[in-house]
Structures are given as structure tokens and as C-alpha cells.
Amino acid sequence: MFSGFKAFILRGNVIELAVAVVVGTAFTALVNSIVTAVINPAIGALFNAESLSTALVVQIPTLSGGTADLLFGAVLAAVLNFLIVAAVVYFALVAPMNYLAKRAEAARQAGQPVTAPDEPPTELELLGEIRDLLARREAAEGAAGAAGAATDATPGADSR
């Protein structure tokens, strides 16, 4: 029972997921601080408020005779925070990964190995190279044999 749990915990996917959660949490804190400390006050200044979350407040009467505040600025701040996080994730992670995937696909279609220069080739790549070299060698020997046979068949050829 514990060996199965150990295998589960030490599996690469779990470790990668844990790292992603930790980095994502730190990244979220960074983006939230930028939005709340820089962007919200700057946009709030346009609405003559301390920050965006305190701007665009609409008071509505309640049944008890008091008022309730609708904080449209806070909703805009949350939407802005989401858009900034999404933009950073797209431009820092998704776009570079898409670019690398396109380069790898172009290299695959061109017949070039996709491995990094410092990474040794895989067995399949080595076997493919050997196959290609043998095919070229057989084609060259076949062409040389055909040329030699044609030379031997010409009259007056030296047949030593």
C-alpha cells in the first residue's frame, strides 16, 4: 500500500504539478500587488477615487430604509486583474510554447532531427540515419555497377 503511494508521489507529473502550483501562487501574488498598488490607484484617479475598487460606487435603498453599495469599480478591478494574468500567461508561456512547437514541426517535416544540439540522438534517430546511409550506398553502388557494365560492353574497352 505504501509502495503504491510512494510511486504516486514520486511520479513526475505530481512533482511538476506541485511546482506549478507554488509558482502560480507566487505569480498571482505578484500580479495582484501590481494591480492593487499601481494600476487600480492610477485608474481610480481618473474617477476621483483612491483606487478602482472604491470608484464607481452606486448606492441603492434597502427595504430597511438604509442603503447598499454596488461596487462596480471592484468588479472592474477583478476583470482587469484577470486580463493582466491571462495576458502574462499567454505571452510568457503559451506563445513561446506554440512557437517552439511550430519550429519542431517544421524541423520534423524537413527531416531534421528535433533534438537539442547537446542532447544525444535517440536510438530511432540513429537507426533512421543508418538506414538512409545504407540506401544511399546501395544506390551509389548500383549506379557504379551499371556504369561499369556499360563500359565493359563498349567495343575497344580495355578489359584488364
> Is residue 146 domain-resident?
yes
> Is residue 159 domain-resident?
no
90, containing H or E segment = none
**Higher per-residue pLDDT: 122 or 14:** 122
> Residue 160: pLDDT band by 50, 70, 90 thresholds?
very low
Burial of 5 (0-12, 13-18, 19+ CB in 10 A): exposed
Q: For the chain, how many structural domains are there in total?
A: 2
- Specify whether 100 is located in the same domain as 133: no
- Specify whether 26 is located in the same domain as 100: yes
For residues 37 and 45, give the distance between their C-alpha atoms in angstroms, rounded to a whole number. Answer: 13
> Residue 154: pLDDT band by 50, 70, 90 thresholds?
low
- Specify whether 95 is located in the same domain as 132: no
**Residue 94 belongs to domain spanning:** 2-110
> Is residue 48 domain-resident?
yes
Q: Are 47 and 55 in contact (CB under 8 A)?
A: yes
> Is residue 115 domain-resident?
no
pLDDT digits (tens, 9 = 90+) for 6-34: 777 777 677 778 888 888 888 888 878 88
Q: Are 50 and 44 in contact (CB under 8 A)?
A: yes
- CATH code: domain of residue 39: 1.10.1200.120
